[in-house]
Structure 1
């Protein structure tokens, strides 16, 4: 299958068949078989359109537990539910016959919203797929709708490689993305699991995460991600942070002079008495330096400013 080209990269419209799977009625012999006949009768009574679309009871449909998307936005589902109440489902669900039920191949978001809207039936197209095709179709649909978070997308690519032995360029062709995009996506799985969860929770973006990837130590990755979140750093600022972590600047040791130290400590105490807050004098070469004055509230800042203005 890995070497075979499919039409999946052309979009989901090409997947809807002209013919659907027909169920054959069975002869009633036992109570168990009688129930099967009842299910088959329900199937055969469903009216099909020329493109294979039919209405099906929503209770006969179940989601695919292995589909790439794990997280659904409740607010977005509610909006879609309201739209379905007003206009109905505009695109049928793509499902696969599992004998006892029908499994969703594409359209779980519509199915969830339809249940929220209280629909008893939904339009479907029934078609049989291999396990690999189901994974690919689910991945393509979610990518086209931009529904996957970066971690879900990367995990889906990894599954295609691990389980179905596809190469990255084959995956790229199927999902209509560049090989570089697929590679960069999968690199995110090298991040600490806590950082991956921060992406899922939208605490940091994929751009932030890719910058943090330059750090190999997992604990440092997490600490950097927390700093990005806490300080609301941009991607460019994150890149600078990572650079500073990887190549810390070496500070030249300051030669201590006990006499000078005592003088500067005395000056710090004197200024502290004036401002009412902590004061630090940072010395540099050639008698240069800077004075750092702390304040603990907006009132503190206003008071210190008033103090300096009164001196002038």
Structure 2
């Protein structure tokens, strides 16, 4: 406990040093820079801005609340990383979930590592550290890899060394970006897995990708089933004998029911049916508040 207290006191002392205009540190060669770089510093949350290069675009509210509860009980165990922008002004490089969760419970400061870097270095650090440490969905990871190629000019070989992943793994993620945007969204929302996506990407025509995607969702096909369907697609003797069965016309009673539920809930629901007459109703929601509203309508609670 004494060691932890000493470490916290050191962090607060360095924080005070950084707030002294006469000792402003802007490069590794400045006076006292060696005391800050590589050390944990307690920074005011209000002095930190979110990184515009952050690859993560989805933050699960429930998971964020769980992290906030953990931080309230145990503190921020893993410091965030920031880069210095100006006097007492910083920008997140990694750790946005910890940053958001800390603000959620009203903390005023957060432990941080400070780096001095330009925008390109910050982008690279943000992308690499998030790929390694955060639970990004497969499409977010693929987009992060693509940005490293487009904006940092990293080759797949160099990227493999930088992120500690096999080149074949990186290639598999990047190939997902060849899928139709509808399927990419389906992967991000969890309707199909990365394994389904890896199978679907072997079909070049987007309309045929969509046809099989609809079968996967409607009939709950496994990855193995999807791989077999893709194989059959390529083995078809002619375009008129494609293995993918076109979505049959939706029965009138299904359309009427779908419209009635949609009107009642004020969200666009979907009813998916299989050839054996079984099916499921999909009711989308985009926030905890919307889920509570739907629950109230469906359960009268």
Q: TM-score, normalised by structure 1?
A: 0.63
**Residue 57 of structure 1: aligned partner:** 44
1:25 is aligned to 21
1:85-134 deviation digits (Å, cap 9, x = unpaired): 10110121111111273110111110011111221111112211233332
2:198 corresponds to: 210
Query: Any unmatched runs of 5+ in structure 2?
Result: 1-13, 25-34, 239-274, 279-301
Would you say the 8 A contact 2:156–2:167 is kept in 1?
Answer: yes
Q: How many Å separate the matches in 2 of 1:208 and 1:121?
A: 43
> Where do residues 2-151 of structure 1 align in structure 2 (5 Å cutoff)?
22=18, 25=21, 52-99=39-86, 101-151=89-139
* CA–CA separation in structure 1 for the residues paired with 2:276 and 2:185: 36
> 1:141-290 counterparts in 2 under 5 A?
141-248=129-236
Q: CA deviation at 1:226?
A: 1.9
**Which gives a bigger RCO, structure 1 or 2 (Cα 8 Å, sep 6+)?**
1
TM-superposition CA deviations, 1:251-288 (whole Å, max 9, x none): xxxxxxxxxxxxxxxxxxxxxxxxxxxxxxxxxxxxxx
In structure 2, the CA distance between the partners of 1:132 and 1:172, relative to structure 1 (3 Å rule), is: farther
In the TM superposition, what whole-angstrom CA distance separates every residue of 1:225-266 from its partner, at most 9, and x where no partner exists?
12112211111000111222333368xxxxxxxxxxxxxxxx
Q: CA deviation at 1:295?
A: 8.9
1:221, distance to aligned residue in structure 2 (A):
0.9
Q: Aligned with 2:112: secondary structure?
A: strand
- Matched residue pairs, number? 216
What is the CA deviation profile of residues 188-228 of structure 1, one whole-angstrom value per residue up to 9, with x for unaligned ones?
11111111111111111111001001111111112211211
CA distance in 1, matches of 2:139, 2:180: 12
Is the 1:149–1:200 Cα contact (8 Å) retained in structure 2?
yes
Q: Contact (CA 8 Å) 2:124, 2:152: kept in 1 or not?
A: no
1:183 CA displacement: 1.1
Pairwise CA RMSD: 2.7
CA contact (8 A) 2:43 2:111 kept: yes
- Partner of 1:98, secondary structure, is strand
The answer (yes or no) to whether the contact 1:132–1:160 under 8 Å persists in 2 is no
CA distance, structure 1, for counterparts of residue 20 and residue 105 of structure 2: 32
Task: Give the structure-2-normalised TM-score.
Answer: 0.65
Segments of structure 1 that go 5 or more residues without pairing to the other structure are 1-18, 27-36, 38-47, 251-293, 298-312
Give 1:278's aligned residue. none
- In structure 1, the residue corresponding to 2:86 is in which secondary structure? coil
DSSP 3-state at the match of 2:21: coil
CA separation in 1, counterparts of 2:59 and 2:161?
Answer: 27
- Mark the structure with the bigger radius of gyration: 1
Q: Structure 1 residue 25: deviation in Å?
A: 2.1
Query: Deviation of residue 65 (structure 1)?
Result: 1.5
Distance 1:139 1:249 in 2: 45
